[in-house]
Structures are given as C-alpha cells and as structure tokens.
Structure 1
Amino acid sequence: MSKLSEHDIEKRLLQFPEWEYYEDALHAEFEFDNFKDCFSAMSRIAFDCEALNHHPEWTNVYNVLTITLTTHSEKGVTDKDFKLAEAIEAIVEPEED
C-alpha cells in the first residue's frame, strides 16, 4: 500500500465532505445526540476497523467523536484510509431510504 499524492487525496475528498486533509492525515468530527449514540457508533466502527485491519486515532468527549486516519507505515494517507472513512461514513451518516 503506497502513500497517495496530495492531488489524489484532494480529488477523493470530494466524495467525503465531512473530512479534511492536513498534517498527512484525514480528519473528521461527528456530533451525536448524546454519549450513548456516540459510543454506539464507535463500537460499530470498531468492527470495521478490525475487518480492515486498520485503526483510527480517535477521541470521544460526551457526544463528539473526533477521528484521524493515516497509515503510519507509509507516513501518510493511503487507499486503506479512504476505505475506512467510507465505512465510518456508512455508520455515522446512514443513507436515507
């Protein structure tokens, strides 16, 4: 897995409006109605992290989840980070029927 160019990252981010790129990582912050909902989303995200064998840097304060994605072995953003961002989006921003 190789590090993506800044141009490729910016192009892919068009599909992820909640995410920003800086300091060689993808960053997002999600606000939930309460702590329980936030922690529930984190628990569901954890299963995708394990399935992808890729783990975020994240913090949770009450109802806010802050996530940073980077591939440490490549010292930057790779396809793996975007795959995890996509899985996270499906959990925190489910599509409406």
Structure 2
Amino acid sequence: MVERLDAARLAQAVHDLPAWRLENGDGADMLVRVFSFADFSAAFGFMARVALAAEKAGHHPDWSNSYNKVTVRLSTHDAGGISTRDIDLAQAIDAIAG
C-alpha cells in the first residue's frame, strides 16, 4: 500500500509544484491544477496524452473538461491523501503541458 505524505514532505512537494494548489475534498488532501488551452481540440489532446501517462503509471487523475479548460485533481484514495504517486504524476502532467 502507498503511504500518504507527511506534513513536511507534502509542504516540500507543494513548493516544488508551484502551479498546483493544495485543496481538501472528501476528507482528503488533493493537488489541483487548472490548465487552459486554445480550444477544445487542444484540451482533449492534452487529456489523451495524460491518459497514456496515467495508464503507464497505474495512477489515474480525477479530472474534468469544459471546452478549453481541464481541471486535474490528484489524490491517492487508498492512502487517504497525497502520496508520491500524485507527485510523480503531477510532474509528468507538467512535462506534458510544457
């Protein structure tokens, strides 16, 4: 089982991912970022690339799409909060977004 990050490691992770914000939802912390694109096609293409990376990592985001915006929420449900899996996926998503 993957363990939730302790407070110090979570603070460092949030510091290292400045475009992401920390939120609390459904009783657990999550990393959240909203991405904006030129249009729906670009947003959907981004989601397809992230889907491939998430599948390879075996860790999947909670996300939504509205026209040119994609909101990504990362949390490890089994850990009850943010784990290294979320940090790794956030970094991969940032790399995909450019």
Same fold, TM-score > 0.5, yes or no: yes
Query: Deviations along 1:43-69, whole A, 9 cap, x unmatched?
Result: 000001000100000000000000100
State the percentage of identical aligned residues: 34
1:7 & 1:63 partners in 2: Cα distance?
Answer: 35
Instruction: Tell me the residue number matched to 1:6.
Output: 7
Show structure 1 runs of 4+ deviating over 3 A: none
1:57 & 1:3 partners in 2: Cα distance?
Answer: 17
SS at match of 1:60: strand
Instruction: Tell me the residue number matched to 2:72.
Output: 67
TM-score (norm 1): 0.92
> RMSD value over aligned CA atoms?
0.8
Alignment of 1:5-84 (within 5 A): 5-23=6-24, 24-84=29-89
TM-score (norm 2): 0.91
